[in-house]
Chain A
Amino acid sequence: MTDENEVMTNTSADSRKGQGGDPGAEPPASSWLGQGEAAKHRRADALFRWLATGSGIAVVSAVSLIGVFLLVQAWPSLQANNANFLFSSEFDTRDAENLRFGIRDLLVVTVMSSAFALVIAMPLALGIALFLTQYAPPAVRRPFGYIIDTLAAVPSIVYGLWGIFVLGPFLVPVALWMNRNLGWIPIFATGNVSIKGGGTIFTAGIVLAVMILPIITSVTREVFRQTPVKHIEGALALGATRWEMIRTTVLPFGRSGYIAGSMLGLGRALGETVAVLVVLRIASSPATFSIFDGGYTFASLIASAAHEFVHPLPTGAYIAAGLVLFILTFVVNAIARTIANGKMQRL
């Protein structure tokens, strides 16, 4: 039923475009109205159109300004920086005369935690999307979907509290076991913070995985739901089992949407602030590429220093970090949109 509606609105939108514009492009010629009345309507029409267009322009300029402003504010600090911005692990802004800041550790911790989150969340989200579109009885699909969406409604700071006070301590034995038995693999080696404290990338990554699960699931679910019924029925008619049907029709059809959804989830994880700030412990030595490292991500570093934003030069250092984060998420999101293009109009 809903599918039918969708098709109807889609075709009507297409036909509108085919005629070279929406019906609004040809407003009625109200010749039979009085002269004054018609002029008043024309003015009102123009005003309304101007308001709508103006809002659109305001949004475009606001977003373009984000990058420009961050760059302008970060530039003097980048000029005054005495360390290598890309490769230094230092982030010392206490002395405005001698700024030393670099993003190496921030980048390592941000990418490690987000990638770890993605590794956990991607297969789970695929399973949940399949369950909600193909396996669950139709009557409960909607309520079950609501349950997964509820995960997205929980504020990130609450995830942070749960992560550090409940999940972290619970995971310590698991982390210790992994470290003891798999420690010879570099990413499971002992990191720069105590594993017993629980505030490691390992914990943060799992919290992030839970947080990005709903967005990956909802995008994937949406594309899986659009799999042509004829393909599904065709596969079943040829004697395919349910799994074979999914492998030959649903998965190939939904692959690009699944990847796009995962990229959107990655974008979320990269920019997540407070949950990571609360979970990760401060590290005193540089990152070692282990999931048992601590430290700061771009976002959590900025949030942790927010109350020190007084002098322009040190503040600019954090804004420079924010600019890198903005570019990072911009690129990831742009890739997601490009992959998704054509398969679905809006995510």
Chain B
Amino acid sequence: MTTDTLQSAERASPFQHLSGVRKAKNYLASVLVTCSFLIALIPLGWLLVTVVTKGYRALVSERWFTHSLSGVMPEQFAGGIYHALYGSIAQGVMCAIIAIPLGVFTGIYLAEYGRGWLARSVTFMVDILSGVPSIVAALFIFALWISVFGFPKSAFAVSLALVLLMLPIVIRSTEEMLRLVPDQLREASYALGVPQWKTIVKVVLPTAYSGMVTGMMLAMARVLGETAPVLVLVGYSRSINYNVFDGNMASLPLTIMNELLNPEPAGVARMWGAALTLILLVMIFNLMAAVLSRFSAVKSS
């Protein structure tokens, strides 16, 4: 009798038998889920292949990285994007000079000092800032810097708008990294009589350093690709302008927008060339971020 019931129980065990419907559903789900990942790869691959095949011709010309488009006719296959590359990097660096100290200090405030309503409102405002569209940031700087203060359109105004877009990324990564630093390190430092500011500067920041730099690189990659602020806040120039505070200045996105209006084959080639250059520039920063995060002292998620 006992063996009989055991055997029938075994036969009815859920581990032994799966109904066809359940099996089919499970299989279908696996296929759909895998497919959705593969579908996402299509636009990425397609886009990269397009930009590389259409843009590499411009890039391999020997003057591409060393000359501007000054004096180049629309239909001429000549010149390069040195002016735009300089403009993009100059605007990005100006932006970083303002945004990184401000962002790091705000991050320190949130992680080390912040309590109560002020900390809550800073967190809330950073959340809001990270959702502000770049065109709205550009309009705000236009309203403040150009309409109210009366300054001319300039690359510096672009940098100010980029600051608004860079800040939330820098603040978040700083705050997150500082929170990952074990409290034992802080306590050990206090126990040795080190004041709080020195503990933060000499113990906490060095521990979180590489993670923070990763965040900054990602932020830089994001702002370099922004087009809306340059459209609103600075004019385009086909020649080199080293002055960030005055005059028109090209940047890679602005060059693309201008060559978009040029129907000549040379313009099309320059447009895709500038697009490829922009992607390469952004990828370099992303790659640096990825490499740096490997060396992070405190492990992030």
Contact = CB atoms under 8 A, between A and B. Distances in A.
Interface of A: 2, 5-6, 8-9, 12-13, 16, 21-24, 26-28, 30, 32-33, 41-42, 44-45, 47-49, 51-60, 62-66, 69-70, 72-73, 123-124, 126-128, 130-132, 134-136, 144, 146-148, 150-151, 153-159, 161-162, 165-167, 210, 213, 217, 222, 238-239, 241-244, 246, 264, 267, 270-274, 278, 298-299, 302-303, 306-307, 309, 312, 315, 318-319, 322, 325-326, 329-330, 332-334, 336-337, 346
Contact of A246 (B29, B37, B271): B29
A274 B253 contact: yes
A318 to B, nearest CB: 7
Nearest to B140: A66
Interface of B: 14-15, 18, 22-23, 25-26, 28-30, 32-37, 39-41, 43-44, 46-47, 50-51, 101-103, 105-106, 108-110, 112-115, 118-119, 121-122, 125-140, 142-144, 147-148, 164, 167, 171-172, 176, 179-180, 182-183, 186-187, 190-191, 193-201, 221, 224-228, 231-232, 235, 253, 256-257, 260, 271-272, 275, 278-279, 282-283, 286, 290, 299, 301
Nearest to A130: B33
A158 B51 contact: yes
B186 A70 contact: no
A242 B32 CA distance: 13
A153 to B, nearest CB: 5
Given A9-B180, A28-B195, A146-B290, A243 B29 contact: yes
A135 B30 contact: yes
A12 B183 contact: yes
Contacts of A146: 290
Contacts of A239: 14-15
A329 B132 contact: yes
Contact of A53 (B46, B109, B191, B201): B109
Contacts of B235: 307
16 contacts: A22-B113, A23-B183, A27-B190, A28-B193, A47-B197, A49-B113, A56-B106, A154-B282, A155-B226, A166-B47, A210-B40, A243-B29, A246-B29, A271-B135, A273-B228, A299-B133
Contacts of B224: 155
Contact of A337 (B14, B127, B299): B127
A24 B113 contact: yes
Contact of B133 (A52, A135, A157, A271): A271
Listed residue (A243, A298, A325) with the most chain B CB atoms within 10 angstroms of its CB: A243
A154 B281 CA distance: 10
A157 B279 CA distance: 10
Nearest to A21: B115
A6 B128 contact: no
A272 B28 CA distance: 35
Given A2-B299, A53-B109, A124 B39 contact: yes
Contacts of B301: 2, 5-6, 222
Interface residue SS majority, chain A: helix
A55 B44 contact: no
A271 B133 CA distance: 5
Contacts of B115: 21-22
A55 B106 contact: yes
B134 A273 contact: yes
B70 to A, nearest CB: 21
B5 to A, nearest CB: 20
A27 B113 CA distance: 12
A55 B133 CA distance: 22
Given A28-B195, A52-B105, A154 B279 contact: yes
A154 B130 CA distance: 18
Nearest to A245: B26
Contact of B282 (A22, A153, A302): A153
A155 B197 contact: no
A319 B143 contact: yes
B197 A45 contact: yes
Contacts of A274: 227-228, 231, 253, 257
Contacts of B195: 27-28, 30, 41-42, 44-45
B40 A148 contact: yes
Nearest to B191: A28
B293 to A, nearest CB: 11
A147 B118 contact: no
B286 A153 contact: yes
Listed residue (B18, B25, B191, B196) with the most chain A CB atoms within 10 angstroms of its CB: B196
